[in-house]
Structure 1
Amino acid sequence: MIVELASNSERKMAQALIEARGLAFEECVDVTYGIYESEQLVATGSRAGNILKMLALAPEHQGGSVLGELATELVMSGLRAGHESLFVYTKPEFVLSFQALNFTLLAHQEKVALLEYGQGLTKWLESKKGLMRPGLNGAVVVNCNPFTNGHLYLIENAAQRVDSLYVFVVKEDRSVFPFNMRYWLVEQGVRHISNAVLLDTSHYIVSGATFPTYFLKKDDPIARIQMELDVTLFASRIAPYFGITRRFVGTEPNCALTGGYNAAMLRTLPAHGIELQVVERKQTDTGVISASKVRELVGQGDLARLADYVPTTTRTFLESDEAAPIRERLQQDFRNRALNGC
């Protein structure tokens, strides 16, 4: 019988089982379920949003029906919560077990496999069918928090090297500027680039679904594994649909994370017939242009200096009444850091 594990004692039992199976326990989940046998917890699993995680079974229940019962309950809870697709990342040796439960393999890396319950990727791709273009196609993936002259320079440069350039704007909302705002700023900023095709990334490029961590060992190169999984999904499922054979990135002298992602693309893309082209970052007299620098200037209330860092469309927005909540938040963050000596 499957029950929800809600009390502290039940959660501790789940944690013990999870850690006994070599997985990492995570506190932040929406729901945790368990299966008992003779008052002993023999299986547990959790859901955080649309991601199933921390599925752990006692050794004697490996390969039986328990995994199916647990995964089915987690999927149903996700569907009841309004998620059309559910994701699970697991070790490659368990892929067949999840495929037997109607999960579809999206991508895998030597230590990680990402599967989806539902037809989310297929539906997302089909919804973009009208954006398909013939010829030599390239892609850039941008977050744009917010859209800067650096982003504009990369897109303009890349657009000159292909017939059509797909500009994927990261949809996951973990930025100061929400997705709709970021997308609109990119849209306004690239209107003059006739061969730029703008679209979102849904769950399938740079998202919580493509960046697993909980079952990786402490000595695993976690960031590298996550990045390679994300790049593999792009290269094997998304790029072929749009006929993309080039991906463009800017040089990254400051951010180790972004630099690592560029390195992951260099390792992974060529095997899928995709060429990585690196564009030298645009700079001002004071250094490279970055969205973090723009946020810093807004936080300092120094809007006059924005002209060197952002296109007119972004600057006009940042000075508008609509952007007032963003300015206030950044300025409060700046004051807090100053008080804390950061």
Structure 2
Amino acid sequence: MIVELALNSERRAARALIEASGLAFEDNVDVMYGMYENGELVATGARAGNILKMLALAPDHQGGSVLGELVTELVASGQRAGHESLFVYTKPEFVVSFQALNFSLLARQDKVALLEYGKGLARWLESKRGLVRPGLNGAVVVNCNPFTNGHLYLIENAARRVDNLYVFVVREDRSVFPFDVRYRLVEQGVRHIPNAIQLDTSRYIVSGATFPTYFLKKDDPVARIQMELDVTLFAAKIAPFFGITRRFVGTEPNCPLTGGYNLAMQRLLPTHGIELEIIERKQAATGVISASRVRELIGRGDLAALAEYVPPTTLAYLESDAAGPIRARLQDDFRNSSPRGC
């Protein structure tokens, strides 16, 4: 029988089983379930949002029906919470077991595989079919927190090197500037580029499913694994749909995590027939243009200095009443020395 694990003693037992299985334990989950046999916890798993995680079974309970029962309960909890598709990480040797439970493989690397329950990726791609164009196609993936002259420089240069440039804007809201603002600022900033095709990433590029540590200042093996999964998913599933054979990034002198992501692309994209082109970052008089520098200037209240760093459309928004809450938040962060991402 599957039961919810809510007591501290139950969570400690789950942690022991999870870590004994070679997985990392994470406290931040919506629900955790387990199965006991003769008073001993023999299986456990958790859900955080639409991600199933920390699925662990005692060695003598692997290969039977326990995994299916546990996953069924977790999927049901996710559906009750309103998630139409769910994701799971597992070891590559367990991929077949999850496929038997109606999960589809999205990406794998040497230690971890990512699978999806539901048809989310297929539906998302089909919804973008009208954007598919013939020719030499490239892509950039941007967060734009907010959209800067550096982003514009990258997109303009990339667009000149391909017939069509797909500009993927990261949908997940882990940024100071919410997605709708970031998307609109990109849209306004690239209107003059006729071959730029803008779209959101849904949950399939640099998202909580494929890259939950993307906005953390932490370069550890977990982050490397997530980077490789994200790059592989893009290269194996998304790029072929749009006919993308080039991906463009800027040089990254300041942010080790983003720099590591660039290195992962250098290693993995060519194995899928995708060329990575690295474009030298645009410089301002005071150094490299970055979104973090823009946020710092806003935090300092130095809006006059922003004209060198952002396009007129972004500047107009930053100076507007609509951006007032964001300016206040950044100024509060600056006073409390709380930096937010690269």
TM-score > 0.5, shorter chain as reference: yes
Q: Does residue 180 in structure 1 map to residue 180 in structure 2?
A: yes
Instruction: State how 1:104-119 maps to structure 2 within 5 Å.
Output: 104-119=104-119
Give the aligned residue type for 2:173.
D
- Structure 1 residue 38: deviation in Å? 1.8
Q: Structure 2: where are the runs of 5+ without partners?
A: 214-218
Instruction: State how 1:49-128 maps to structure 2 within 5 Å.
Output: 49-128=49-128
Q: Tell me the distance in 1 between the aligned counterparts of 2:130 and 2:212.
A: 32
- Structure 1 residue 224: deviation in Å? 2.4
Q: Tell me the distance in 1 between the aligned counterparts of 2:27 and 2:89.
A: 17
Q: Which residue in 1 is equivalent to 2:254?
A: 254
Q: Tell me the distance in 2 between the aligned counterparts of 1:284 and 1:5.
A: 54
- Structure 1 residue 190: deviation in Å? 0.5
Q: Which residue in 2 is equivalent to 1:216?
A: none
Q: Tell me the distance in 2 between the aligned counterparts of 1:14 and 1:274.
A: 42
Q: Which residue in 1 is equivalent to 2:19?
A: 19
Q: Tell me the distance in 2 between the aligned counterparts of 1:223 and 1:72.
A: 28
Q: Which residue in 1 is equivalent to 2:167?
A: 167
Deviations 1:149-191 (A, max 9, x none): 0000000000011111000000111100011110010001001
Give the aligned residue type for 1:211.
F
Q: Tell me the distance in 2 between the aligned counterparts of 1:169 and 1:25.
A: 31
Give the conservation status (yes or no) of the 8 Å contact 1:89–1:212. Answer: no
Where 1:25 maps in the other structure, the secondary structure is coil
The root-mean-square deviation of aligned C-alpha atoms, in Å, is 1.4
Q: Tell me the distance in 2 between the aligned counterparts of 1:116 and 1:28.
A: 21
Give the aligned residue type for 1:257.
L
In the superposition, the TM-score normalised over structure 2's length comes to 0.95
Give the aligned residue type for 2:291.
A
- Structure 1 pair 169/212, CA: closer, same or farther in 2 (3 Å)? closer
Where 2:321 maps in the other structure, the secondary structure is coil
% identical equivalent positions: 80
Instruction: State how 1:176-215 maps to structure 2 within 5 Å.
Output: 176-211=176-211
- Structure 1 residue 212: deviation in Å? 6.7
Deviations 1:305-327 (A, max 9, x none): 00000000000000000000000
Runs of 4+ in 1 over 4 A off after TM superposition: none
Q: Tell me the distance in 1 between the aligned counterparts of 2:148 and 2:187.
A: 12
Q: Does residue 236 in structure 1 map to residue 245 in structure 2?
A: no
Deviations 1:15-46 (A, max 9, x none): 12212222221110000011111222111100
Where 2:322 maps in the other structure, the secondary structure is coil
Q: Which residue in 1 is equivalent to 2:294?
A: 294
Q: Tell me the distance in 2 between the aligned counterparts of 1:220 and 1:283.
A: 29
Q: Which residue in 1 is equivalent to 2:306?
A: 306
Deviations 1:199-227 (A, max 9, x none): 011111111211378xxxxx983332221
Instruction: State how 1:218-229 maps to structure 2 within 5 Å.
Output: 221-229=221-229
Deviations 1:261-316 (A, max 9, x none): 11111111111111111111100111000000000000000000000000000000
Q: Tell me the distance in 1 between the aligned counterparts of 2:62 and 2:234.
A: 32
Give the aligned residue type for 1:29.
V
Give the aligned residue type for 1:126.
E
Give the aligned residue type for 2:131.
L
Where 2:116 maps in the other structure, the secondary structure is strand
Aligned residue pairs, count: 333
